Structure 1
Amino acid sequence: MKPNEFINQFLHQLNNIITPGAEALGSEMQQKLRAAAQAAFDRLDLVTRDEFDAQQAVLKRSREKLEKLEQQLAELKVQVDNQHS
């Protein structure tokens, strides 16, 4: 989810929580809420969904390579043990 989409969803949920009369406060209040939310999220150490998905794919490939290397090592150990027997 992109940051602006996240903020829009956050503000929508906030509007649903606040009493119905709060929507009557007008666009100025919503602009101030949006600016405050944006400032709060800018201070957080967040990554985009795309960045998260990319790192997750890298981690998956690394795990697969590690498992393959572990299997090769186990096979080599068996070969060495068989040669010494």
Structure 2
Amino acid sequence: MKPSELFQDLQTKISDLLKNSPVKDIEQNIKTMLTQGFAKLDLVTREEFEIQTQVLARTRAMVEELAQRITQLERELNATKTN
């Protein structure tokens, strides 16, 4: 038997062994359990998180702008009261 045939045969046997191994079943069971566990959590995708981050940034900017406008209006109101 040639060395290349030996390695090919060995590779085939190892692949067959791994396919029929309980490790594959355990791996599948762990993936299933993790998927079910994550499904129960209230998680969001990275895309949803980034969108909400942008919305929050715009909202903060608007609040800061409104606060400045209120401050300006209060100054104008106080200026008209003193005149």
- Give TM-score, length-normalised by structure 2: 0.70
Q: Which amino acid aligns with 2:80?
A: Q
Once superposed, which parts of structure 1, at least 4 consecutive aligned residues long, lie more than 6 Å away?
none
Structure 1: 5+ residue stretches without partners: 1-23
> Distance between the aligned counterparts of 2:43 and 2:72, measured in 1?
42
C-alpha deviation, 1:25, in angstroms: 4.9
Structure 2: 5+ residue stretches without partners: 1-20
> Distance between the aligned counterparts of 2:39 and 2:73, measured in 1?
51
1:42 aligns with 2:39: yes
Q: Please state whether the residue corresponding to 1:26 is helix, strand or coil.
A: helix
Q: Please state whether the residue corresponding to 1:47 is helix, strand or coil.
A: coil
Match of 2:65 among 59, 63, 68: 68
Structural mapping, 1:49-60, within 5 Å: 49-60=46-57
> Distance between the aligned counterparts of 1:25 and 1:32, measured in 2?
10
> Distance between the aligned counterparts of 1:25 and 1:53, measured in 2?
40
CA RMSD of aligned residues (A): 1.3
**In the alignment, what sits opposite 1:33?**
30
- Give TM-score, length-normalised by structure 1: 0.68
> Distance between the aligned counterparts of 1:79 and 1:42, measured in 2?
55
Greater relative contact order (Cα < 8 A, sep 6+):
1
Pairs aligned (count) = 62
**In the alignment, what sits opposite 1:16?**
none
Q: Please state whether the residue corresponding to 1:46 is helix, strand or coil.
A: coil
Q: Please state whether the residue corresponding to 1:29 is helix, strand or coil.
A: helix
